[in-house]
Amino acid sequence: MNDLTQNNLNYKKYVVDSKLRYFKSHASKIEKTFAEEISSTLGIDSKFITPKFFYDKKGSELFEKICTLPEYYPTRTEIGILKSLRTELPCYLDESFRLVELGSGASVKTRLILDMFTSLQNTTEYFPIDISEILTESSEILLNDYDNLRITGIIDTYEGGLEFLKNYSDKKNLILFLGSSFGNFSPIDGRKLLQTINSTMKPGDLFLIGLDLVKDIRILESAYDDSQGVTAQFNLNVLSRINDELDADFDLNNFSHHSVYNVEHQRIEMYLKSLLRQTVVVSKSNLSMNLEKNELIHTEYSHKYSLDQIRELLEGAGFVINHIWLDEKKYFSLTLVSKV
């Protein structure tokens, strides 16, 4: 694909050197989308903020801190499973694969997969896709540690990055989607995203997805309401971001973190609770909103799955399951699929 086509897709290209380049949506487009989405999701009765807006620089740093908390089992459990794949996953790969990652964040777990790739290939092509600028920092850190890596980063939504990938080249892709980030999507939006991933894939491509499993409610609830209050800071930080970027006047002292496991829908639900009756103005969204005392703003779902539901979900989106790997406690899963 040439640069002209990439410009048509509204990306600005940044070439750092022969090993590293980024494509990023134009700043004006990003701000406009943020302002418009906030206007439509906070300007209604059941207020919500989509979780993709958590990840400004501070939000991404706070998420990395969450990953190290004793209560937050998903990260260390998924790392344990990835380590156990050292011999098994390479059997599905060969020297011709590119590594693509949705929501790559700090690219920490990626290293376990990159180790497999670099043992199979002379040069490995890595294609991280993340809405957060953390992507640039993590790519530079990776390049210091891996000599034979070439990185093309897409700073955009999952859907934007997948569209970019579709037009890119016909090399085979292993697409990673770790951390159970998929669980943030509602069932309807999740199905749509899986179909988009499926339609982006070519025969021979692979998709490895990490999904969190249903378990004891106490383990689930403490993972999203830790004793040090880091998850609370992460949740509240989205209001600081709206203040900074959209000229809003949220007073963070007037909100608290609230999270609960919804047994029927098998999901953690995270909210920001208004501690008093208040009016908040978001200037760049042309919005003035009234909040009642105890009114909730929904900020995140984190769905949990049974193995049957994982099979149904992935097969329903047109995938063939190659393998499902679990940890010993059956807390977390990694599923490798191909396109039918």
Ligand X SMILES: C[S@@+](CC[C@H](N)C(=O)[O-])C[C@H]1O[C@@H](n2cnc3c(N)ncnc32)[C@H](O)[C@@H]1O
Exactly one of 38, 49, 131, 162 binds ligand X (CB under 6 A); which one?
131
**Under rule CB under 6 A, residue 132 binds ligand X:** yes
CB 269 within 8 A of CB 298: yes
Joined together, the tokens standing for residue 74 give: 């998903």
Write down the least CB distance from residue 305 to ligand X, Å.
16
From the list 293, 298, 222, the residue with the least C-alpha distance to 261 is 222
* Residues 196-215, interacting with ligand X (CB under 6 A): none
Smaller CB separation from ligand X, 193 or 280: 193
Write down the least CB distance from residue 254 to ligand X, Å.
26
Joined together, the tokens standing for residue 126 give: 């890595």
Smaller CB separation from ligand X, 55 or 207: 55
**Under rule CB under 6 A, residue 128 binds ligand X:** no
Smaller CB separation from ligand X, 162 or 289: 162
**Under rule CB under 6 A, residue 157 binds ligand X:** yes
**Under rule CB under 6 A, residue 158 binds ligand X:** yes
CA distance 313 to 182: 12
**Under rule CB under 6 A, residue 181 binds ligand X:** yes
Joined together, the tokens standing for residue 283 give: 């200037």
Rounded alpha-carbon distances, angstroms, from residue 282 to 27, 51, 242, 270, 330:
19, 18, 8, 22, 44
- The number of helices, as runs of H, and strands, as runs of E, in the chain is 11, 14
Exactly one of 11, 55, 97, 117 binds ligand X (CB under 6 A); which one?
55
C-beta neighbour count of 312 within 10 angstroms: 12
User: Which residue has tokens 């070519």?
Assistant: 202
**Under rule CB under 6 A, residue 254 binds ligand X:** no
CA distance 225 to 71: 8
**Under rule CB under 6 A, residue 130 binds ligand X:** yes
Smaller CB separation from ligand X, 97 or 164: 164
Write down the least CB distance from residue 29 to ligand X, Å.
14
CA distance 194 to 190: 6
**Under rule CB under 6 A, residue 153 binds ligand X:** no
Shortest Cβ contact with ligand X: which residue? 179
Smaller CB separation from ligand X, 55 or 146: 55
3-state secondary structure of 263: coil
Exactly one of 109, 241, 257, 303 binds ligand X (CB under 6 A); which one?
109
Smaller CB separation from ligand X, 295 or 300: 300
DSSP-derived secondary structure for 9-35: TTEEEEEEETTEEEEEE-HHHHHHHHH
Smaller CB separation from ligand X, 103 or 153: 103
Write down the least CB distance from residue 131 to ligand X, Å.
4
**Under rule CB under 6 A, residue 63 binds ligand X:** yes
Strand order, beta sheet including 332-339: 11-17, 20-25, 149-155, 124-130, 97-102, 172-177, 206-212, 332-339, 319-326
**Under rule CB under 6 A, residue 179 binds ligand X:** yes
**Which amino acid, one-letter code, is at 22?**
Y
**Under rule CB under 6 A, residue 72 binds ligand X:** no
Smaller CB separation from ligand X, 114 or 291: 114
Number of residues written out for the chain: 340
Binding site for ligand X (CB under 6 A): 52, 55, 60, 63, 67, 75, 103-105, 109, 130-132, 134, 157-158, 178-179, 181
